[in-house]
Structure formats: structure tokens, C-alpha cells
Chain A
Amino acid sequence: VIGRTHHDEL
């Protein structure tokens, strides 16, 4: 997974 598909971190 390159980049960010969803924001699962805070």
C-alpha cells in the first residue's frame, strides 16, 4: 500500500 487510502492512524 503506497500512500493513504484511508486514515486509520491518529
Chain B
Amino acid sequence: MNVFRLTGDLSHLAAIIILLLKIWKSRSCAGISGKSQILFALVFTTRYLDLLTSFISLYNTSMKIIYVGCAYATVYLIYAKFRATYDGNHDTFRVEFLVVPVGGLAFLVNHDFSPLEILWTFSIYLESVAILPQLFMISKTGEAETITTHYLFCLGVYRALYLFNWIWRFYFEGFFDMIAIVAGVVQTILYCDFFYLYITKVLKGKKLSLPA
């Protein structure tokens, strides 16, 4: 555990909590892509199956349970409790275009051809692109609530911090995981455009709106 990994995890946790609270307090999931949230629930489910097979630490286990629990709670709020506020007309990204290729890639490029390892690989690849329905939705509507941009910022910063964590681990532990690193780079790059808008607009007190 190093400072990048810890702050990355906390940033990830903050993102998840911000989104849950935003929906809960406003009693609305307007502007939130339910498809991205289903993909994240799928990501956590397939990655954390090792909760049943191995114990790393109390920190590791509790964070995994919190992430999975919050992911399903978010999906429940969007598709059940506050379904009336869900903006399905703008949430039109075709997720099969992500899930199918990612599934195929997980079968082809993995560390070990075993069920748990393929599912872990699938979750890593899927996570890297799972935000696309949300970004697509924002590009369609041309705007995002400020609280939604805080969520996206924390979520993007988390993987960027993991990149520094992997550099640290490579130098100090000789640890090197090509699959996680490549997927993490892709994931971070997808947020770059958003980071630019967040820094130049939201942090200066303006609402995030895209030119028509």
C-alpha cells in the first residue's frame, strides 16, 4: 500500500458515495446513465468473486463489499426507486458494443486461462470503458449537473492515481501487471477531455455545458 493507491481508492469511494448521495438527496437520477452504473455493477461483481476464495486484508475485503454494495444500491435507485426520473431517452449507448468485444478480449488476452482469472480480466477491460455511456449521455444532452461532474472527476482521478501506484510498485516492488496498466491508461485517457472541461469550467464556478 502506497499513498497513490490509498488516495486512489478513497477517490473511487468518494465518487461512488457522491453519486449515491446525489440521487438520494435530490430523489432523482436525471442526467445519470443507468447503463454505465449497470456496467460498474458487473465490473465489481466479476472482479470481486475472489471474496469467496481468498482473503487479502480487512481493508481489501471491506472496500470490496462497500464497492459492490454501493454499485447495486445505485442501480436499484435508478431502475426501481427513482425510475420515474431516469432519463432513458438520452441513455442510448449500445452497451453490447462494449461488453461483447471486451468479453472476447478477456478470453484472448489474460494471465491465466481459468474462469476466475478470465472474469477478473473481463472486469478490468470493462471498467476501462464502462463510463462511455455516461460520457455519451452528457455529449447528447450537452450539459451535466455540477455534482455529476464532481462524481466523474473523482472517478477519473482514481484510475490516474492507480497509474502512479503502478509506477511506484514497479520501482519499489518489481510488481508489473500489463493488463491492468494498459486498461488503466485507456481508462484515464477517456477522461482527459472531461478533465479539461472540469478544470476550465466547473472549477471556475461555471456549469458544464457543451457548445451546441
Binding between chains A and B: yes
Interface residues of A (CB under 8 A from B): 1-4, 6-10
Task: Judge whether B174 is part of the interface by a CB distance below 8 angstroms.
Answer: yes
Within 8 Å CB of A1, what residues of B?
A: 173-176
Contact present for B64 and A10 (CB under 8 Å): yes
Contact present for A7 and B54 (CB under 8 Å): yes
A10 to B51, CA, bound (A): 11
Within 8 Å CB of B176, what residues of A?
A: 1-3
Contact present for B111 and A3 (CB under 8 Å): yes
Chain B nearest CB from A7 CB (Å) reads 5
Within 8 Å CB of B111, what residues of A?
A: 3-4
Contact present for B56 and A7 (CB under 8 Å): yes
Contact present for B177 and A3 (CB under 8 Å): yes
Q: Whose C-beta in chain B lies nearest to the C-beta of A2?
A: B176
Interface residues of B (CB under 8 A from A): 5, 9, 12, 47, 50, 54, 56, 60, 63-64, 67, 111-112, 117, 120, 162, 165, 173-180
Q: Whose C-beta in chain A lies nearest to the C-beta of B121?
A: A4
Chain A nearest CB from B97 CB (Å) reads 27
A7 to B56, CA, bound (A): 8
Q: Whose C-beta in chain A lies nearest to the C-beta of B9?
A: A10
A9 to B120, CA, bound (A): 11
A6 to B12, CA, bound (A): 21
Contact present for B56 and A6 (CB under 8 Å): yes
Contact present for A10 and B12 (CB under 8 Å): yes
A sample of 16 inter-chain contacts (CB < 8 A) reads A1-B173, A1-B175, A2-B178, A3-B112, A3-B177, A6-B50, A7-B47, A7-B50, A7-B54, A8-B56, A9-B5, A9-B180, A10-B9, A10-B60, A10-B64, A10-B67
